[in-house]
Amino acid sequence: MTADVAVLGVGMHPWGKWGRGFSEYGAMAARAALADAGLQWRDIGSIVGADTVRGGYPGYVAGATFAKALGWQGARVTSVYAACASGAQAVATARAQILAGLTDVVLVVGADAAPKGFFRPAGGDRHDDPDWLRFRLLGATNPAYFGLYARRRMAVHGDTLEDFALVKVKNAAMGALNPHARYRKRVTAEEVAASAVVADPLRLLDICATSDGGAALVLSSLEFARRRGVPRPVRIRAVSTVTPRYPSTVLDLPDIATDSAAAVDPPGETFRASIARAAYEEAGIGPEDLSLAEVYDLSTALELQWYEDLGLCGEGEGAKLLREGATSLGGRIPVNASGGLASFGEAVPAQALAQVCELTWQLRQAAGERQVSGARAGITANQGLFGHGSSVIAVR
């Protein structure tokens, strides 16, 4: 029995600041994915919604919210929340339902209406919540921990401000070719350097924005795809949603403490590296087999870290890989051909699904001017708060 499931349809609501509710963005993306799959909403046996906790009470029942927006038709419904990893966990849930034989076809939807400015913790006092603690005790806003990551790379690996700026230049150039992106303007390294300092050493153009947006997938069994006349669909081959291993001895904000290794040796890899390894093992491929990668570039420095965590290069070699042009269009392993968060901004429950949308377009050879030549396999990667792994491998 194969663990592959087919991607029959993909759809997105363009990213931006639109001032409307998240369910509207998700419903539009869902209708686009259904149209792409050649299916009607009544054909769907199950809907999985990636939750938003920032769009009001309905965000906590996102699956049913989207089902209502599309029109009640009795489909099985599931809602999942894993912060930035919500979309990947929604894909994992949908795939499990298909492989278990509960349904032939599932609609997966994520959407968000983000607040203005940088994210802040949800209201209330939650003394056992690491997210609340790092904001209230440390004052470690998202840009603060992005800046700390950047400082660490500069100290340990010798990365420079110019290296970080080159990530933005690369992603902006590819985002300028993407009609779904919020920012579609090329920038220069000089413009990055001249933008305001937000969390030293990072400038405004080093850090992603918060955005409204939505993305959706129609997933099915391979047999269902064949019956629909799609003998060779894009396939999800692996979904990694792993958790860290004890003891975690590397400070990895937004976590604010590490475990002692006095009694137990630490694992041989970091949490982020384990996310990709689990995906590779399940898919039966390695980084050398990839055609492209979509990674969560919350900041320019974090993109460089993903190069190493995905095994695209050795430890400390991320900036070298970038400077060689390997991660640009036409390079050995283009990263963020969509434009990444640099061009989209964060719409948290939707972004991991948007990454799979991009892989699907690329593997179909349907990405237009940003097409990666001969794309056959791609990986996505991001990390949800406090132990939510997120990686999807798609092949064709």
Q: How does residue 85 score in pLDDT terms, banded at 50, 70 and 90?
A: very high
CA distance 163 to 165: 5
**Dihedral angle at the C-alpha atoms of 386, 205, 329, 12, nearest 10 degrees?**
60
Sheet holding 388-395, edge to edge: 76-80, 46-50, 105-112, 212-220, 5-16, 234-240, 388-395, 377-384, 292-295
User: How confident is the model at residue 220, as a pLDDT?
Assistant: 98
CA distance 248 to 258: 6
Q: State the CB neighbour count (10 A cutoff) for residue 229.
A: 7
Q: Which of 28-37, 117-126, 301-310 is the least confident region?
A: 117-126
pLDDT at 1 over 80: no
Q: How does residue 57 score in pLDDT terms, banded at 50, 70 and 90?
A: low
**SS3 assignment, position 349:** helix
Considering only CA atoms, give the Rg of the chain.
20
User: How confident is the model at residue 56, as a pLDDT?
Assistant: 54
Task: Give just the sign of the alpha carbon dihedral 312, 316, 322, 323.
Answer: negative
Q: Which of 281-285, 298-302, 340-344, 381-385 is the least confident region?
A: 381-385
Contact 190, 241 (CB under 8 A): no
Return mean pLDDT, the chain: 93
Q: State the CB neighbour count (10 A cutoff) for residue 113.
A: 24
pLDDT at 130 over 80: no
User: How confident is the model at residue 83, as a pLDDT?
Assistant: 87
Q: State the CB neighbour count (10 A cutoff) for residue 42.
A: 11
CATH T-level fold of 5-118+210-227: Peroxisomal Thiolase; Chain A, domain 1 (3.40.47)
Among 77-86, 185-194, 243-252, 256-265, top mean pLDDT goes to: 185-194
**SS3 assignment, position 201:** coil
* Beta carbons within 8 Å of 100's beta carbon, 6+ residues apart: none
Q: Span 273-281, mean pLDDT?
A: 96
Query: In the chain, where does DSSP find H-type helix?
Result: 22-37, 62-70, 86-99, 130-136, 142-157, 161-175, 189-194, 222-227, 271-283, 300-309, 318-323, 340-344, 348-363
User: How confident is the model at residue 253, as a pLDDT?
Assistant: 65
Q: Per residue in 212-242, pLDDT tens?
A: 999 999 999 999 999 999 999 999 999 999 9
- Phi and psi angles of residue 55, each rounded to the nearest 5 degrees, phi first: -100, 20
pTM for the whole structure: 0.96
Q: Span 44-59, mean pLDDT?
A: 81
Q: How does residue 254 score in pLDDT terms, banded at 50, 70 and 90?
A: low
**Residue that is written with structure tokens 């997120």 in the block:** 390
Q: Span 249-260, mean pLDDT?
A: 76
> Which pair of structure tokens corresponds to residue 375?
């794309």
Given its phi and psi angles, is residue 175 left (phi above 0), alpha (psi -120 to 50 degrees) or beta?
A: alpha
User: How confident is the model at residue 119, as a pLDDT?
Assistant: 80
Distance of CA 21 to the CA centre of its chain: 21
Domain residue ranges of the chain, discontinuous segments joined by +: 5-118+210-227
CA distance 103 to 190: 53
By the 10 Å C-beta count (0-12 exposed, 13-18 middle, 19+ buried), 374 is classed as exposed
User: How confident is the model at residue 58, as a pLDDT?
Assistant: 58
User: How confident is the model at residue 141, as a pLDDT?
Assistant: 85
Instruction: End-to-end CA distance of the chain: give it in Å, rounded.
Output: 18
Tell me the C-alpha to C-alpha distance, in Å, between residue 230 and each of 52, 168, 223, 224, 296.
Answer: 33, 38, 9, 9, 31
Q: State the CB neighbour count (10 A cutoff) for residue 3.
A: 15
CA distance 338 to 265: 40
CA distance 179 to 52: 24
DSSP type of residue 215: E
Q: Per residue in 144-192, pLDDT tens?
A: 889 998 999 999 999 999 999 999 999 999 999 999 999 999 999 999 9
Tell me the C-alpha to C-alpha distance, in Å, between residue 133 and each of 140, 163, 256, 308.
Answer: 9, 32, 8, 29
